[in-house]
Every structure is written in C-alpha cells, then in structure tokens.
C-alpha cells in the first residue's frame, strides 16, 4: 500500500506539468531537426546554444511543426561535434546548463512542441569515464567495449581482421595500457560499446529513463546499423569497389552492419518508453538499403528515416523512379506503419546542392504533402544552399582528415552553416561577426525575414504546404500516384467533402503537356494553388483545364478542386 502511494506521488508532477496531449503515434508528424551549433547563438560566442533555441521556438508555430529533434547536446569533446559523448547525463557547457535544457523543455511544451533527443548508443567518447576505466581493465568496465589482442603475422602484431571504419582506416586501434585493440566503427575517439555485455544494455536503458524522467518526448536513435558486430571477428569479404584497404568501401559489411541483434534490441527500448503515461516516440537512423531499412518497422519503433529521397532521387530520375520510391514507402501504411519523408540531414549535401532550386521545390512538395511524417533539416524551409568553406575554416573530421585538394568532396561543413534569420550581422544568428562556421555569403538576400515578404520565396512554398499538411480533411493516409509522362509524376490527396489536391512534378528539361483526367472523379477545371515557375503558361490564381495542363520543365504545380477550402473547411 505504501509503495503504491509513493508511486502515485512520484508520477504526479510529470502528469501535471504537461497540459496537452501529443498524438499517440508519430503519424503525420512534422519533425524539425535542429543542429544546435547552427540554429541560434544567444550568448554571442559564435556557436548556437539552448537559450538560442528557446528564443526561436515561435518559428515553429507558423509552419505547424509538432516536434523538434536536437542533434546531440550532451557533454562532449566535440571531435565529431557531439556524436562523441563523454557524459550521457550532462549538458555540454557550450550549449548551456541543465537548467537551460529544462527551460527549453518547458518552453517547448508550453507551445505543444515535443522534444526528441539524439540518442547515440553505438559509442562513447574516449574521454568517457567508462572508457578510461576500461583502458585500465577496471571491472566491471573492462568489458564495456570490444577489446581484442589482434593476430600475429610473421612476428608482427596486426589488428584482428580487415574491418574498416566509416571514417576510413582500420576500425581497430591499439592501446598499450590494455595490450589490446579496441573497436571503433567511427573515429578513433569514438570506441564502440559492447552490447553483448548486459551491463552496457542496462546502463543505456538507465540513460533513456534519466531523460524520459526529465520529460523528453522520445529519441532519434543514431547509427542503428552499427550497434552489434559478429563476435567471431572474421575478415569481411572484399567489395571489389576499391583496392584501398583503408577505404570504408573496401569491404562488404556482412559482420559489422545490419546484424539481427540491432533489430532485436529495439523492443527492449520500446518497453522502457512505454512505461510512461505520455506517448513517447522512437525514430531510427538507418544506413543500408531500402529493404533492411523497412525491416525496422516491425520492431516497435515509430519509423526508420526514409533516406531514399536523398540516396535514390537524382536530377535524372524518371517519373517511374519517383513513383517507385513513393509507392514503396506509402505501402508500409497499408500495414499500419508511418511513411516518412526526409530530404536532408547534417551528413548530406543540402537538398538544393543535390537537386538545384527548381527541382528542390518539387522534393519539398513530396516531403510535406505525401501522407506520413515530414522531416525538415534546419534551413530547408528557407531553401538554404551550401556555404563555401575554405580549407583553413574546415572543422569537420571528415574534411580535416582529407587534404586541401579533396576536402570539398567529403567535408560536411558546407551543409552545417548558421541559420539565416535576417540580413544583419551574421545573418541574425549571432551578435558575433565571427561564427564557428562562416555564415553563407548569400544571407543578405536569402534569409527568413526577407523571404516572409516575398510570395515566391522558398519559405512561402514551405508555409503554403504546411497549411495543406495541417488540413483535417485529408482522408487518413489517402494517396493516388500516377506516371503522366517520362518525367512527369503526379499524386492526389483526397478528402471526404472538400475535393482533392493534385501535385504534379516535371523532373525533365522540357515543358510537358499532360492529361489529368486519368485521376478518377477529377473535375474538368482546377484552381492553381501553387506553381513554382511563374510563366505565361501558368500564373498565380488561375484556373486550368484538366485535359491539357502544361507543366514547365523542372517545376511543380499544385492544383485543387475549385473553391476547395482544405485548411479551415
């Protein structure tokens, strides 16, 4: 009896602290990735911080964002900008204090915004206390990481096998202190945790609980593909793609990637989340192919990120290619899964760099208007482009371990430059004219404040699409897709009473005239809701005849049933 009362008292403050009811599942979520170093700097040191995020939370109200995911904000020597954590229970001082984080959580919840943390389970920093103790062989930490004596070849000690790290070079590093090699699938400073050790699994569950108890709404799980490795430590077969044994692409990842145990551990984390009254979300970062990614849906998570709009879509994609990607991911909803659409993250070239501005607008239309969860990488809503970063200014470990001639092809810095808020000093990101990465020089014209005044800006598109996404009238998950021409792909979202919306994209280099009457029950005339290319073919506020609609090259056109009012009904 006493225990029951104590339990009731303990959970009461958590329940009272939250006034709104987030959705049970992340279905139709709009999730925004904040890269905290680059979102907003409050204290003027040139690096973004948590107080900066608090200042800019209202940015999300206008565009119907329901959840933010913060890239890692925990204590870190910042070798991999936070993905190398030295203490899983402390906020990194560059970003602020625990009080700042608690204030951020409260300020977000006051706005009905959910907050997801980046959970980095695969590895710690070498500076983590566990690793320091493991190095000295102190129990129980001695087996928290994967240590191996290596193999002797003709009297010379060699790493246990040919495994290569994601950041190139051997995945094994020798330490004299332990007289052994440790495994690191990422940088030398990111030793892999040993998930075959039940103590490690328990520690990581405790860390989840620590943040859930604080009130976070869930986690985005980093580098899921790399958690477990085969314990026989055999050589991986050669891929044949390169002769360079230090290249990540040298081997086929049959022992270091996508092991079945990576899937099996997820339901154990789900159980931890399900102990809480409020809905908690869990989304996963995959790395492999579509099939292996899809498999995550069956292991208790909300969704694995769909990276196909990044990896499979190109400026040359045909309408059939696009339809295949869209149908593949949409089909998961037939089994109760949540499709999701991602156009970028801090590891990839920005959308506009990959696709060019005109086609990027079409991709943004997919991301916001297809059924399921929308994921926005900070800056995508204003169409941020990549900044030029000189060799001297390069800080990304992938860039730095390259050389002056080649760093530009591998460095991730250009996709991580500060958010462009306005046309003042450092684009309104910082009061400091010197920022951790230089602000993109195009900020005088490409910035949120100016885009809000321009009906044809990228932000205007993002806002218009966000309004549509929010419409309560779309039939749940409803979608019809069509190939109308070699490069013209179209889809329809229907409602019960308010007609339909049709998005038509032309990825080709030539205008194309198509017949939309292939869609069942389409009216003979439609209103133009949006056209990315304003020309004499289509202009704002015009009406089109569905049997002959000309879609300009490299553009997107969004049409609606006449006088439809999707947003307010």
Which string of b and e fits 267-304 if b means at least 16 CB within 10 Å?
Answer: eebeebbeebebbbbbbbbbbeebebbbbbbebbbbbb
Residues at the contact surface with Ca ion, assessed by CB under 5 A = 41, 43, 45, 47, 49, 122, 192, 226
Query: Using CB distances below 5 to 8 A depending on partner kind, what does residue 328 bind out of ligand NAG, Ca ion, none?
Result: ligand NAG
Query: Using CB distances below 5 to 8 A depending on partner kind, what does residue 478 bind out of ligand NAG, Ca ion, none?
Result: none
* Of 533 and 546, CB closest to ligand NAG: 533
CA angle 100, 104, 106 (to 5 degrees): 120
Q: How far apart are CA 144 and CA 178, in angstroms?
A: 13
Helix (H) or strand (E) holding 408: helix 407-410
Q: Pick from 192, 285, 380, 386: which binds ligand NAG (CB under 6 A)?
A: 285
Neighbours of 233 (CB within 10 A): 17
Query: Using CB distances below 5 to 8 A depending on partner kind, what does residue 41 bind out of ligand NAG, Ca ion, none?
Result: Ca ion
10's CB contacts (< 8 A; 6+ apart) are none
Spell out, one character per residue from 177 to 206, where the chain touches ligand NAG: x when CB under 6 A holds, - when not.
Answer: ---------x--------------------
Of the residues 41, 229, 236, 285, only one is catalytic, namely: 285
Residue nearest ligand NAG by beta-carbon distance: 428
Q: Which of residues 296-315 bind ligand NAG (CB under 6 A)?
A: 308, 312
Query: Using CB distances below 5 to 8 A depending on partner kind, what does residue 112 bind out of Ca ion, ligand NAG, none?
Result: ligand NAG
Minimum distance between the CB of residue 566 and Ca ion, rounded to whole angstroms? Answer: 41
- Between β-strands 525-531 and 488-494, what pairing exists: parallel, antiparallel or unpaired? unpaired
What count of residues does the chain have? 569
Binding segment toward ligand NAG, per CB under 6 A, in 92-100, 267-275, 420-428, 489-497: 420-428
* Of 236 and 285, CB closest to ligand NAG: 285
CA angle 224, 230, 233 (to 5 degrees): 130
Give the binding-site size for ligand NAG (rule: CB under 6 A). Answer: 31
Q: Pick from 28, 41, 49, 80: which binds ligand NAG (CB under 6 A)?
A: 80
In Å, what is the CA distance from 438 to each residue of 39, 325, 418, 428?
13, 36, 7, 13
> Which residues share a beta bridge with 490?
482, 504
370: closest CA among 313, 450, 419, 316? 313
Q: What tokens appear for 420 in the block?
A: 């462009």
422 sits near ligand NAG (criterion: CB under 6 A): yes
Binding segment toward ligand NAG, per CB under 6 A, in 238-246, 374-382, 401-409, 416-424: 416-424
Q: What tokens appear for 349 in the block?
A: 């070239």
| 532: exposed, middle or buried (Cβ count in 10 Å: 0-12, 13-18, 19+) | buried
* Of 371 and 546, CB closest to ligand NAG: 371
Q: Are 372 and 27 in contact (CB under 8 A)?
A: yes
Binding segment toward ligand NAG, per CB under 6 A, in 6-14, 242-250, 326-334, 376-384: 326-334
Which string of b and e fits 433-467 if b means at least 16 CB within 10 Å?
Answer: eebbbbbbeebeebbbebbeeeeebbbebbbbbbb
Query: Using CB distances below 5 to 8 A depending on partner kind, what does residue 252 bind out of ligand NAG, Ca ion, none?
Result: none
Helices (H), 111-178: 129-135
283 sits near ligand NAG (criterion: CB under 6 A): no
Spell out, one character per residue from 332 to 351, where the chain touches ligand NAG: x when CB under 6 A holds, - when not.
Answer: -------------xxx----
Q: Pick from 64, 87, 112, 143: which binds ligand NAG (CB under 6 A)?
A: 112
448 sits near ligand NAG (criterion: CB under 6 A): no
Binding segment toward ligand NAG, per CB under 6 A, in 88-96, 192-200, 322-330, 358-366: 322-330
Q: Are 444 and 455 in contact (CB under 8 A)?
A: no
Helix axes 357-369, 458-470, angle to 10 degrees: 20
Helix (H) or strand (E) holding 164: none
DSSP state of 474: B
Q: How far apart are CA 428 and CA 448, in angstroms?
A: 10
Q: Pick from 7, 20, 210, 298: which binds ligand NAG (CB under 6 A)?
A: 20
Query: Using CB distances below 5 to 8 A depending on partner kind, what does residue 381 bind out of Ca ion, ligand NAG, none?
Result: none
Annotation says 222 is catalytic: yes
* Of 268 and 442, CB closest to Ca ion: 268
Q: Are 374 and 367 in contact (CB under 8 A)?
A: yes
| 127: Cα within 13 Å, side-chain hemisphere | 14
Q: Which of residues 133-162 bind ligand NAG (CB under 6 A)?
A: 153-154
Query: Using CB distances below 5 to 8 A depending on partner kind, what does residue 83 bind out of ligand NAG, Ca ion, none?
Result: ligand NAG
Query: Using CB distances below 5 to 8 A depending on partner kind, what does residue 43 bind out of ligand NAG, Ca ion, none?
Result: Ca ion
Q: How far apart are CA 90 and CA 512, in angstroms?
A: 56
| 333: exposed, middle or buried (Cβ count in 10 Å: 0-12, 13-18, 19+) | middle
Of the residues 84, 92, 192, 222, only one is catalytic, namely: 222
83 sits near ligand NAG (criterion: CB under 6 A): yes
* Of 345 and 512, CB closest to ligand NAG: 345
Binding segment toward ligand NAG, per CB under 6 A, in 126-134, 262-270, 361-369, 422-430: 422-430
461 sits near ligand NAG (criterion: CB under 6 A): no
List strand residue ranges (DSSP E) for 486-534, in order. 488-494, 500-506, 512-514, 525-531
* Of 80 and 380, CB closest to ligand NAG: 80
For 174-213, the three-class secondary structure string (H helix, E strand, C coil) is EECCCCEEEECCCCCCCCEECCCCHHHHHHHHHHHHHHHH
Q: Pick from 328, 333, 408, 471: which binds ligand NAG (CB under 6 A)?
A: 328
* Of 100 and 285, CB closest to ligand NAG: 285
Minimum distance between the CB of residue 194 and Ca ion, rounded to whole angstroms? Answer: 8
Q: Pick from 181, 421, 489, 529: which binds ligand NAG (CB under 6 A)?
A: 421
Three-state DSSP at 517 gives: helix
Query: Which residues are tagged catalytic?
Result: 222, 285
Residues making contact with ligand NAG (CB under 6 A): 19-21, 80, 83, 111-112, 120, 153-154, 186, 222-223, 285, 290, 308, 312, 324-325, 327-328, 331, 345-347, 421-422, 424, 428, 449, 455
């Amino acid at each position: 009896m006493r225990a029951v009362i104590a339990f009731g008292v303990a959970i009461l403050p958590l329940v009272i602290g939250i006034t709104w009811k987030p959705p049970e599942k992340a279905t139709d979520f709009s999730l925004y990735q904040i890269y905290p170093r680059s979102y907003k700097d409050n204290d003027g040191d040139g690096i973004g911080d948590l107080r900066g995020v608090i200042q800019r939370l209202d940015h999300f109200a206008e565009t119907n964002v329901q959840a933010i995911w913060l890239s890692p904000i925990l204590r870190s020597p910042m070798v991999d900008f936070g993905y190398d954590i030295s203490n899983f229970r402390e906020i990194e001082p560059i970003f602020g204090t625990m009080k700042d984080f608690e204030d951020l959580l409260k300020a977000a919840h006051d706005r009905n915004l959910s907050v997801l943390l980046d959970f980095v389970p695969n590895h710690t920093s070498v500076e983590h206390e566990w690793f320091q103790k493991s190095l000295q062989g102190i129990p129980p930490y001695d087996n928290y990481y994967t240590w191996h004596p290596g193999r002797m070849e003709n009297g010379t000690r060699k790493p246990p096998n040919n495994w290569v790290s994601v950041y190139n070079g051997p995945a094994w590093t020798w330490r004299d202190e332990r007289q052994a090699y440790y495994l690191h699938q990422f940088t030398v400073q990111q030793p892999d945790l040993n998930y075959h050790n039940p103590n490690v699994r328990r520690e990581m569950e405790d860390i989840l609980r620590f943040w859930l108890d604080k009130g976070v709404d869930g986690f985005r799980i980093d580098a899921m593909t790399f958690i477990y490795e085969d314990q026989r430590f055999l050589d991986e077969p050669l891929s044949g793609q390169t002769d360079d044994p230090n290249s990540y692409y040298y081997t086929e990842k049959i022992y270091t990637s996508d092991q079945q145990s990576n899937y099996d551990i997820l339901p154990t984390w789900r159980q931890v989340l399900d102990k809480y009254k409020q809905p908690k979300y869990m989304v996963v970062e995959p790395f492999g192919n579509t099939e292996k990614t899809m498999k995550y849906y069956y292991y208790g998570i909300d969704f694995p990120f769909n990276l196909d709009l990044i990896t499979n879509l190109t400026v040359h994609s045909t309408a059939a290619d696009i339809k295949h990607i869209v149908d593949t991911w949409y089909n998961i909803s037939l089994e109760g899964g949540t499709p999701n659409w991602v156009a970028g993250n801090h590891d990839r070239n920005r959308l506009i760099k990959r696709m060019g501005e005109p086609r990027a607008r079409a991709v943004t239309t997919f991301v916001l208007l297809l059924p399921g969860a929308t994921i926005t990488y900070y800056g995508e809503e204003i169409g941020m482009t990549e900044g030029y970063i000189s060799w001297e200014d390069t800080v990304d470990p992938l860039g730095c371990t390259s050389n002056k001639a080649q760093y530009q092809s591998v460095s991730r810095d250009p996709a991580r430059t500060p958010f462009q808020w306005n046309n003042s000093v450092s684009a309104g990101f910082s009061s400091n004219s010197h920022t951790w990465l230089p602000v993109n020089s195009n900020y005088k014209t490409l910035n949120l404040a100016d885009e809000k005044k321009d009906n044809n800006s990228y932000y205007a598109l993002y806002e218009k699409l966000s309004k549509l996404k929010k419409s309560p009238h779309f039939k749940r998950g409803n979608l019809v897709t069509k190939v109308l021409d070699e490069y013209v792909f179209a889809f329809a979202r229907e409602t019960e009473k308010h007609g339909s919306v049709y998005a038509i994209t032309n990825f080709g280099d030539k205008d194309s005239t198509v017949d939309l009457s292939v869609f069942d029950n389409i009216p003979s005339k439609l209103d133009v809701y949006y056209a990315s290319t304003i020309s004499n073919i289509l202009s704002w506020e015009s009406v089109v005849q569905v049997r002959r609609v000309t879609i300009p090259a490299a553009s997107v056109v969004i049409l609606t049933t006449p006088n439809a009012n999707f947003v307010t009904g």
